[in-house]
Amino acid sequence: MSKFKMFIEYDGTRYSGWQKQRDSKTVQGTLQRIAEDIFNTREVDIQGAGRTDSGVHALRQVASLDVRTMLAPEIIKMKFNDLLPYDINIIEVEKAHSNFHARKDVEMRSYLYQISKRRTAFGKQFVWWIKDKLDTNKMRSTLQLFIGMHDFASFTDKNMEEKSTKVLINDITLTEVDDLILIRIIGSHFLWKQVRRMVGVTAEVGRNHLTENDVLKYLTSLRNEPAKFTAPPSGLYLEQVIYKGEKFNEEFSPLIKVS
């Protein structure tokens, strides 16, 4: 078997997330089906670095591809892109070590959330438009509360696959670019809906509907309130996946500019 490392971007609007499901269209399922056609075999395994939720996008998802083939990486990339739908694109394919696993070998992941301060005709499926005026200074201060190791049980739904709800958040930044508010969250891993609830709660502080003390309570005891403030998937992107020895790209790359 040959092992490849694939870099993938996709618009998640039409998909029920990354992970393959029996009766739903997913990104992994689409890639798997096309891979079976390309290599003329069902002995193909594609594993992603992050299981993005329904409607969530990726700027640079990483996947490992296991298949028996003599095709060169650039030919594999070309064949995939010839068959993939318009909203999934293979950016790059490279040979990988036989032990490489896209998810298990990750050291850090970053997610980018885009909030638009104005109504936009073109970016609705790529941003969260918030009509209310937001206090970004309060939002920055609130986001700092999440940095470090915390129990994010209040920011996720119960999932039998998760052994622990503790997550290490390495860094969070909020940057304003024209009429966009960009929130980057870097962590070891993320729970289901965690990032969207972190952003949703922070936006409520920016609206002056919640306080930093409220957020601290969500981090120190199990509460149901964050679920009510879940930000929509439209503004969320899996931005970067970092492996041992790789450097993090600190430049912001918003998918759509709103000005």
CATH number for the domain spanning 139: value is: 3.30.70.660
**Residue 247 pLDDT:** 84
**Residue 53 pLDDT:** 92
CATH of the domain at 22: 3.30.70.580
Q: Are residues 144 and 64 in the same domain?
A: no
Q: Is the pLDDT of residue 2 over 60?
A: yes
Q: Count CA atoms within 13 Å of residue 174 on its CB side.
A: 19
Q: Are residues 140 and 230 in the same domain?
A: yes
For range 205-214, the mean pLDDT: 97
Q: Are residues 74 and 146 in the same domain?
A: no
Structural domain contains residue 248: no
Q: Are residues 147 and 127 in the same domain?
A: yes
98 C-beta neighbours (distance < 10 Å), count: 8
Look at the chain and report how many structural domains it folds into.
2
**Residue 252 pLDDT:** 67
The pLDDT tens digits of the residues spanning 76-114 come to: 999 999 999 999 999 999 999 999 999 999 999 999 999
State the Cα–Cα distance between residues 8 and 63, nearest whole angstrom: 8
List, in sequence order, every residue forming a beta bridge with 151; answer none if it has no partner. 166
Structural domain contains residue 196: yes
**Residue 79 pLDDT:** 98
Q: Is the pLDDT of residue 134 over 90?
A: yes
Computed over every residue of the chain, the mean pLDDT equals: 93
Q: How many residues are present in the chain?
A: 259
Q: Is the pLDDT of residue 160 over 80?
A: no
Q: How confident is the model at residue 55 (pLDDT cuts 50, 70, 90)?
A: very high
**Residue 1 pLDDT:** 84
3-state DSSP assignment of residue 106: strand
34 C-beta neighbours (distance < 10 Å), count: 20
Query: Which of 69, 95, 121 is where one domain is finished?
Result: 95
Query: Which of 26, 60, 95 is where one domain is finished?
Result: 95
Residue 141 buriedness (CB in 10 A; 0-12 / 13-18 / 19+): middle
Q: Are residues 113 and 49 in the same domain?
A: no
**Which has the minimum average pLDDT: 14-18, 157-161, 166-170?**
157-161
For range 50-67, the mean pLDDT: 95
For range 161-173, the mean pLDDT: 89
**Residue 163 pLDDT:** 79
Structural domain contains residue 36: yes
Q: Are residues 28 and 67 in the same domain?
A: yes
Q: Is the pLDDT of residue 154 over 80?
A: yes
Query: Which of 95, 128, 162 is where one domain is finished?
Result: 95
Q: Are residues 17 and 143 in the same domain?
A: no
Active site residue 53: yes
State the Cα–Cα distance between residues 67 and 69, nearest whole angstrom: 6
The one catalytic residue in 23, 53, 82, 171 is: 53
Q: Is the pLDDT of residue 12 over 80?
A: yes
Find the helix or strand (DSSP H, E) in which 75 lies: helix 73-83
State which residues form the domain around 157. Answer: 107-243
Find the helix or strand (DSSP H, E) in which 156 lies: none
3-state DSSP assignment of residue 121: coil
